[in-house]
Amino acid sequence: MKRETDHQISDPRHPALIRFGGYRSKWLQDFNRCPRVLQHLSNITGDVELIPKTLQSNYSHTNIGYAKYDYC
């Protein structure tokens, strides 16, 4: 994720967000398609079997929040 912060963008609702990492990173592609990861997450959900998402632009997208300090 640290490497991907070079590509972060922002808008009024999100101070920092990272998208499209699935197009830049082979590791993110492999992680999001890994059968062992899918099986593990499916086991956590209980009776729902998860399938890999085909839209790479949303692979491991991340919203970054920053703490706001108000010292008033």
10-residue stretch averages of pLDDT, the chain, 72 residues long: 80 82 88 90 87 79 69 58
State which H helix or E strand residue 67 sits in. Answer: none
What pLDDT score does 36 carry? Answer: 94
Q: Is the pTM of this model over 0.95?
A: no
Of 63, 70, 58, 71, nearest to 28 by C-alpha is 58
What pLDDT score does 69 carry? Answer: 62
What pLDDT score does 63 carry? Answer: 73
What pLDDT score does 70 carry? Answer: 60
Torsional sign, CA 48, 51, 52, 55: negative
Q: Alpha carbon 1 to chain centroid distance? A: 9
What pLDDT score does 44 carry? Answer: 92
